[in-house]
Amino acid sequence: MMVRGSLDEVTGTEVRGWAFSPGYQDDIIVQAVLDHEILGEAIANLHRPDLAKAGLGTGNSGYSIKFYRPVDPLFLPFVVVKVNSGDIELPRSTPLGYVEFFRALYSKYPAVGRPRSVFGGLWTDRTNAAAVLRGKLAVGQMSTEVSSIITGFINNGLATIKLNAVPDRKVWLENIAERLGETLDDKALLSPLRAILEDNPLAIRADWLSGIESELTQTSASNPSPSPAECLDIVVPFGNDVCLDVVRDGHRLPEFTPHGISRWVNRTSKTVLALAGDSGILDRHALPNGSAAIVGPGTLYRAHCAPRSAALRIQCLPERGAPLQVVTDPQRREVVRSSGVRILI
């Protein structure tokens, strides 16, 4: 018996959906089950015009199962619907029950951590990031100096550090991959990078910047890896007149649409930039020569370089998140440093 169907709605008192088997003459009985407990059952014989329009028989294949008892919202994601007392489970059409689940979870356990985006991200993008940071510091997993840098990163969406060596643009132009590796190996930068990424950094893009960017950017929007919120931008200034315009607290907003596309860039960028400037929530962060800025995945910003100054923007991923199309690209040159830093540009 081949059964098609889905679980379309889950609440604490019932589930709704449909089940259809072409050519099957008997009634299809569906059961709502939680951890081997039958919560309720029904016959899938309710009329659904959408099913009839889709050519699934007469459309009389809908079901509504009332529970014998209310179910705690914390258990809704684990409710399944089985067919004819068998092991076949109907798939969920969407992540049903999870809204109620998280609402109940955070109500009962307000300190529990979670990423701001449903697509996950770095631990610094979690609502309990400060608590995670305190724990790492308490057990000696992180130094006080690095902890101070990451505190700024969590609070502001970016952190500015002083490099041990001042980069020279002329030298950089001669061999950018080698110079890039030397800068990422700089302990002042590498230590916080490893702490944020929880891995060695993988540089996949390096772009020269000059003048004033006309639009806001966001590194997550150009991240080619499956996890769009696991990435960083590193901005290295060349000259003393480089700064970043940052939308204040923009990194705290869930930035992705249900399709995984950043909602704050592309067509909306100029509008957001205009609104940010008009409302006074655009902060300016100076980057003196010999410094570098680590910019978070959801931070909205643009670079501002005065004449005769420039900056290099480097996109980094955790090494574990290297996308296959980047690793296998024959046009890219790979450099692996003894420190574990990788460069694919």
Closest CA to 262 of 199, 212, 219: 219
Q: How far is CA 7 from the centre of its chain?
A: 27
Average pLDDT of span 48-71: 94
pTM assigned to the model? 0.68
pLDDT at 321 over 60: yes
* Rounded distance between C-alpha atoms, residue 41 and residue 31, angstroms: 4
Average pLDDT of span 317-327: 83
Kindly report, residue by residue over 304-316, the tens digit of the pLDDT: 999 989 999 999 9
Average pLDDT of span 212-223: 84
Kindly report, residue by residue over 19-51, the tens digit of the pLDDT: 999 888 889 999 999 999 999 999 999 999 999
* Rounded distance between C-alpha atoms, residue 154 and residue 223, angstroms: 20
Which has more confidence, 91 or 193? Answer: 193
Residue 56 · residue 28 · CB < 8 Å: no
pLDDT at 3 over 60: yes
Q: How far is CA 174 from the centre of its chain?
A: 36
The rounded mean pLDDT for the chain is 86
pLDDT at 11 over 80: yes
Q: Where are the domains of the chain?
A: 4-104, 156-344
* Residue 57 CB-density burial (10 A; 0-12 exposed, 13-18 middle, 19+ buried): middle
CA R_g for the chain: 26
pLDDT at 161 over 60: yes
What is the number of other CB atoms lying within 10 angstroms of the CB of residue 28?
20
Please state which CATH class domain 156-344 belongs to: mainly beta
pLDDT at 271 over 60: no
Architecture of domain 4-104: Sandwich (2.60)
pLDDT at 226 over 80: no
Which of the residue ranges 85-94, 105-114, 308-317 would you say has the lowest mean pLDDT? 105-114
Average pLDDT of span 287-302: 93
Task: Give the start-end residues of each E strand in 86-200.
Answer: 158-162
Kindly report, residue by residue over 277-290, the tens digit of the pLDDT: 555 678 899 999 99
Residue 38 · residue 32 · CB < 8 Å: yes
